Structure formats: structure tokens, C-alpha cells
Amino acid sequence: MATEEEIAVKEPLDLIRLSLDERIYVKLRSDRELRGKLHAYDQHLNMILGDMEEVVTSVEIDDETYEEIVRTTRRTIPYLFVRGDGVILVSPPLRTV
Amino acid sequence: MSTGGEKGSTGGGGEKGSGGGSSVKTPADFLKSIRGCPVVVKLNSGVDYRGILACLDGYMNIAMEQTEEYVNGQLKNKYGDAFIRGNNVLYISTSKRTLAEGA
């Protein structure tokens, strides 16, 4: 058996490190999305984001017409600590909308 | 014993009769063997992500390329790179998705 040097050639966290000081898109639980500049992160995906915008999406269903009303609430926060257990996905922001 | 595979593997103590090309012994071996393959990642929330697996670790944190997000079977988003936190992952499955792009 070869030595266990090849276990983690690249970890996903190493690739997140490439996004440090770049703007990123973060998907959180509870239908929340963040876009901001990644200042720091750790193995739990706790993150420090700067110049950040949060978008909260809620869908309401009208009782009578059964229409889906999609509402988004936005707020901007200059500096924020995000707890990692709420993070679902991290990605560079979508360039082409 | 129905192996059901294309290769007539004689078996030799294979606990799992998986239809993969390579002999997979443990989940860790499977994770090592699928890097670079197109995969389907399903999250606990039911959202589907299809893309090419770049790498992953023992926590099932995933890094993927050319990722597409499917909600209720509908394509919702496309990401060039995506990192998915492992605790959200329900399963990782290989898919025989034909790559449309590429030379």
C-alpha cells in the first residue's frame, strides 16, 4: 500500500481560497442569498463578507387565486460575519445575468 | 449471483454488486474515483446540482464546475464554479451526461 500522501490532493476549501478578496455569491438556508467580498473563511465556512447585499426570497400563495407571489427583500451591510452552518453553496458571482 | 455488468467479473469477494467499471471497495474509494466525472448532487432540501466534480473531501464538501441548479426538475441557475457545504449533501451520483461543449 502506498503512503497516504494522495488523500487530499485538492480540497474544495483550497479552491475557495482562490476567491479570497473577490466578490462571491453565497446561498444560505431560509432562501437567502448574499453577494459580497470574501475577506475570510474557515473550515466551517464561517465567513467575513464586506460590502454585502442580502436578498431574502419569500413565496406567498394567495388563498383564492392560488397565485404564487414571489417577494424579495434586500438589505446592504458593509461588514458581516456569517456562521458557517447556514451556508449551502459558495460561488463566484454570475457574470452573465 | 447476478452481476449485471458488461464485464463478466468473477467477483472474488465483492461485497457490493455495483455496476461500475472499476472495482469499488469502500465509499472513500468511490469518492476518489469519480473526480472529473459528471455528477448529480442532491441536497437535503431537494435541490439538484449537475456538473463536473472537481474535488471533494471527507466531509462531502464538494467543488464542481459548470454547475446547473435544478429545482423541482427546472433549471434555475448556472454556476461556473460551485462549492457545496457537505452537511447539505444527500447523495452524490455519477451521471452519463454527455458534455455538449468541449473540443
The residue that leads in pLDDT, A85 or A70, is A85
Nearest to B62 among A12, A87, A92 (CB): A12
Q: Which amino acid does the sequence have at A4?
A: E
What is the rounded CA–CA span in Å between residue A23 and residue A92? 7
| pLDDT cut 90: percent of chain A above it | 56
Q: How far is Cα of residue A57 from the mean position of the Cα atoms in its chain?
A: 14
What band does A41 get if pLDDT is binned at 50, 70 and 90? very high
Please report the ipTM that was assigned to this predicted complex.
Answer: 0.79
Chain A contacts in chain B segment 79-98 (CB below 8 A):
79-85, 87-88
What is the rounded CA–CA span in Å between residue A11 and residue A41? 14
pLDDT at residue A35 in the model: 94
The residue that leads in pLDDT, B27 or A21, is A21
Q: How far is Cα of residue B56 from the mean position of the Cα atoms in its chain?
A: 11
Q: What is the dihedral of CA A42, A45, A51, A53, to 10 degrees?
A: 180
pLDDT at residue B97 in the model: 62
